[in-house]
Structure 1
């Protein structure tokens, strides 16, 4: 995995190599093994390399043999061997064994449509001198990032926003519409980012930059249209199993060792078990455990370690650890977060890096595509309840939800009915499944300053999202609508970004995701709902398909999504004080007033509540994390001020110069 950057001048000036160097230096954490720059008049590319495939011959930016095509590429094309053979049969000759060169000649043969044949994760740019254009593309699921901006004289792109901000003509300013969306959906709706006039290319989209103009289109779409397939459970299970085994085998293609995350949950257990049972690859696994037993899954991790006989390494995470690395975490996320869950993932990827591994296999995507989240159970129960809204029995099923959230489980049936309420106007809403979650998150906006609230008054995040829904969305089953919303919003915007790419690449580690092989995703969209969730038994087909390689206790354990301690990581309720100087600094009345995004009185009231041990709910925890992470971003990336934590990443500190 790598970092990429580029500049396309629209004013006929030649590209500055010094500017490209400053951009790629900022991305050295993504590719510490090598770097390169190539300029051709008004177009310049830069690349920082994490060497994984063809260690000797895969240097970038790379040119075609005739010099007419140049590429800078971040990602992996897992079917590059098959595509290379296809191209060789058409007369193409290769100088390297890298997947990068395969992309170049796939573009030469098929043009922008080449991405339809790629199986992998990518963000790349190709300079086509004959066509006098630059072609950019991002993978189907949004695993790898690609951000860009335009100034009056040029188009600029990179893997991360901090690289754009090394250039003097790129404005640093908060996008309040994006902030409003983030404090609703947990991430802005693409193409918006937290920063005004800085955009991300959405997942499954490509772009052509030519004569200063942008042409952007979607090349792949999810489709949950009901199908008439009459297949047995065993038939569906056999195909899912075969697809997952092959997807995992493809993702073991590398010229370096590949490890695996092992959380103790079903998904990472499946990927690890496939590696052990269906490949000859050595199995090295890595886990995070917590001092706070509410979040710890080490019991299940140990069970899988014994079952698979893995070489295993563990990092233990405390409240203090989360608070200590949080400024670094936010420097990498480049957007506010509402949960601390990325922080332990950052520590876990450091463990991987320290053990000399560059690649890890993980189980992300299984919950979204195979129906694993409690949100899907919630949707099913609320739909069932809505058919008899006066029933006293049906709402009792809500007790089956979120067993790991003790405060919610302690509430009365009346409270649960009110929290998961079903208003008549919500029944036909395209967002029926997500309204309770989004309404809870939106309550955090009460902490915004009056000025920010006033500027947001005419902005409706739900309307923004509605405009992005596909035409056929209303024809899909409610369960599949919920899956779509998770897959196109929370997964790329938070799970694969803030928790995924940014945390792993912050320590020069590449994540690979067998469940997000596009063939698996397309297959999963066709699976009958009753095989995804049998009653309230989530991921039923996955459990059935891999039942011979996963212990019964792992298959039958209650669903516990990955979580981490939150408010207590920053404020010690026993000492009634902030654990770190930066927390006091950023939540002070003066700093809140200076930045202008949050109401100092409301924030101070929240801090006092936490200090007194009275902040026990999800809303208070999310509020503190969201406010603190936003303040960190403003301080670092807009005001260019160091944080008094002593933990600033040296490479990122260049941004403050």
Structure 2
């Protein structure tokens, strides 16, 4: 796991290039605090801030091939690198290190872009050909690792985090109102969005080439839930799930350093921890977030699972004040607007994890998307069937829909009846599954003076997706979850960006392609979708505590606006006074001020979910304006790796 950065065809004075690439890397030194290195020639620079996980001594970057023609800056891990290495060696490739970095380099040189679907892991890389001047960028199929790029005339810059672009001469950050409208409405950036004008994100499952001022993007992996898997019985389905998850966890334990596990209190992380304990050569270390506010706390289940495993467990108890205090730092690392505060405790937990000496962590992300664990999927099935059901059946299905809600009775069911009647037919082409969710997004989009159609971008996304129109309602819902909230928030803002803020690599066993394929082969064939993740629970029912297996999903959340209403951090007035809000030209300052006054001065019980969400969006947008646009107050700790490797090839021709 690392941070990468670089440029091609930079127009500023070549004598300043070494300082530019070093500054770009220093800005993301927290991602790779173990070593820093860069390569320069007459046209390009590539650099890496390295977090040493595999082949600590020899896997130094950027890495060149023996001829010195090809150079790789690589972020992430390809977990099946040993199997790929064996294939390459059989084809005649010779290796000088034990690293997966060299496997990625040799794989591209041997197979070209056809290597990308072979990679099982989370990665983003830049590969440069000194002879042709061609730069290739690529990103993993699920968007686990970020990769941003900036084009300015004939100049091209790339980096793992946008803060590297502070080093680009003459570039200034500007929030993009059109993108912000989409982010507010959809709760998350879409695959190519960043929220800033002129900066793009390479979408998951894509690679791009940059050569002679020409940029071409290619998709190598289309998200699909069709599978050739054939499962004849429920017993066979359960065994398939067990075997695929065992293999996935074993792959993700490949490391030259200890691997820990995040325990949430739910079944996904419990399964991950159970399998990790069995496969790991280390005594298992586990880590959890607990909350002073009991409405969000799952610490009893976390402790129960840790005791069951006998793991070395550490828990971090989070208060309202902790969230209010840490939000600015967390937003600076997230770099995009956020709709809730759940990412802030993960920022604090990763610091605890690194302080405990753990550099790699396993977590349960991706399980709900693969095994239909969200309420969303049950809602879709019920809404689509609504007009064909009798009133008694409707009430019964609604009554079983949200078992995790403490106050859910006849009054709530009656209110939902009208809502489901309203959303029983598709209004937004291709977006039926998410139309109810988007209502909160419509409210948040009112923060902008002219939001236009905030759903235009996501409508274009689904309209242009091959095969999307022919998918079932459930598969469309899955597709949207994978391509939007999972990649744009859960794996990034709440996941990778918070863990790498403290130099911790996160790995997700449920996002193994073979696990996703197994889920696709069994979902809805042996599961009616009413009891979430029934097959996954059954697969491990005899191996886990019954209370963990039978516990219904308790969505991970953290206090949102209530944290700021009670803690009242000093920065609130500096960010959210009407005079400050008017400095954001795209913002409806009067609406924002009314929202702020209500959230901070009314009892928490009077603040609805949509207002909670809107307030956190507003606060994060204001912080991003301060740190990135105005460049004020970003006095956060920069990690400068202690070792530096510089390879200056300017003026040196390739060997004959």
TM-score (norm 1): 0.93
| Offset from partner CA, 1:260-303 (integer Å, 9 cap, x none) | 00111011000000112344432110001000010000111111
SS of the equivalent of 1:6 reads strand
SS of the equivalent of 1:157 reads strand
- What residue is the counterpart of 2:249 in the other structure? 248
SS of the equivalent of 2:137 reads strand
| Offset from partner CA, 1:236-271 (integer Å, 9 cap, x none) | 221221111111011111111111001110110000
- What residue is the counterpart of 1:3 in the other structure? 3
- What residue is the counterpart of 2:483 in the other structure? 488
Which deviates more from structure 2 when the two are superposed, residues 289-298 or residues 183-192?
183-192
- What residue is the counterpart of 1:289 in the other structure? 290
Q: Aligned runs of 1:361-372 on 2, under 5 Å?
A: 361-372=362-373
1:327 is displaced (CA, Å) by: 0.2
- What residue is the counterpart of 1:575 in the other structure? none
1:425 is displaced (CA, Å) by: 4.8
CA distance in 2, matches of 1:649, 1:384: 52
Which of 642, 645, 649 is the aligned partner of 2:633?
A: 642
CA distance in 2, matches of 1:612, 1:200: 39
CA distance in 2, matches of 1:386, 1:638: 50
Q: Contact 2:290–2:316 (CA<8 Å) still a contact in 1?
A: yes
- What residue is the counterpart of 2:496 in the other structure? 501
Q: Contact 1:588–1:600 (CA<8 Å) still a contact in 2?
A: no
- What residue is the counterpart of 2:654 in the other structure? none
Q: Does 1:608 align with 2:608?
A: no
Which of 536, 542, 549 is the aligned partner of 2:530?
A: 536
SS of the equivalent of 1:38 reads strand
- What residue is the counterpart of 1:463 in the other structure? 459
Gaps of 5+ in 2: 641-656
- What residue is the counterpart of 1:594 in the other structure? 583
Which deviates more from structure 2 when the two are superposed, residues 628-637 or residues 438-447?
438-447
Q: Contact 2:29–2:639 (CA<8 Å) still a contact in 1?
A: no
Q: Contact 2:139–2:147 (CA<8 Å) still a contact in 1?
A: yes
| Offset from partner CA, 1:314-339 (integer Å, 9 cap, x none) | 11100000000000010011110010
Q: Does 1:624 align with 2:602?
A: no
| Offset from partner CA, 1:5-56 (integer Å, 9 cap, x none) | 0100076975811110110010100011110110121011011011111111
Which of 542, 546, 567 is the aligned partner of 1:552?
A: 546
Q: Contact 1:146–1:201 (CA<8 Å) still a contact in 2?
A: yes
Q: Does 1:633 align with 2:627?
A: no
Q: Contact 2:77–2:121 (CA<8 Å) still a contact in 1?
A: yes
SS of the equivalent of 1:571 reads helix
Which deviates more from structure 2 when the two are superposed, residues 274-283 or residues 397-406?
397-406
1:621 is displaced (CA, Å) by: 0.8
Q: Contact 1:190–1:199 (CA<8 Å) still a contact in 2?
A: no
Which deviates more from structure 2 when the two are superposed, residues 584-593 or residues 517-526?
517-526
SS of the equivalent of 1:529 reads coil
Which of 547, 568, 575 is the aligned partner of 1:579?
A: 568
- What residue is the counterpart of 2:329 in the other structure? 328
- What residue is the counterpart of 1:441 in the other structure? 441
- What residue is the counterpart of 1:204 in the other structure? 205
CA distance in 2, matches of 1:170, 1:178: 19
Quickly say closer, same or farther: Cα 1:227–1:255, change in 2 above 3 A: closer
CA distance in 2, matches of 1:306, 1:230: 35
Quickly say closer, same or farther: Cα 1:155–1:425, change in 2 above 3 A: same
| Offset from partner CA, 1:369-411 (integer Å, 9 cap, x none) | 11101111111121221324x7364155223333445577684
CA distance in 1, matches of 2:178, 2:455: 7
CA distance in 2, matches of 1:608, 1:589: 11
1:469 is displaced (CA, Å) by: 2.9
CA RMSD of aligned residues (A): 2.2
Q: Does 1:74 align with 2:75?
A: yes
1:436 is displaced (CA, Å) by: 0.3
- What residue is the counterpart of 2:275 in the other structure? 274
Q: Aligned runs of 1:391-430 on 2, under 5 Å?
A: 391=391, 393-405=393-405, 411-423=411-423, 425-426=425-426, 429-430=429-430
Which deviates more from structure 2 when the two are superposed, residues 88-97 or residues 242-251?
88-97
CA distance in 2, matches of 1:172, 1:358: 32
SS of the equivalent of 2:30 reads coil
Q: Aligned runs of 1:192-271 on 2, under 5 Å?
A: 192-225=193-226, 229=230, 231-271=232-272
Aligned residues: 637
- What residue is the counterpart of 2:59 in the other structure? 58
Q: Does 1:116 align with 2:117?
A: yes
Which of 508, 523, 546 is the aligned partner of 1:513?
A: 508
CA distance in 2, matches of 1:281, 1:479: 40
- What residue is the counterpart of 2:649 in the other structure? none
Q: Contact 1:178–1:192 (CA<8 Å) still a contact in 2?
A: yes
1:120 is displaced (CA, Å) by: 1.1
SS of the equivalent of 1:377 reads helix
CA distance in 2, matches of 1:424, 1:560: 26
- What residue is the counterpart of 1:562 in the other structure? 556
1:475 is displaced (CA, Å) by: 2.5
1:427 is displaced (CA, Å) by: 7.1
Q: Contact 2:386–2:424 (CA<8 Å) still a contact in 1?
A: no
1:144 is displaced (CA, Å) by: 0.2
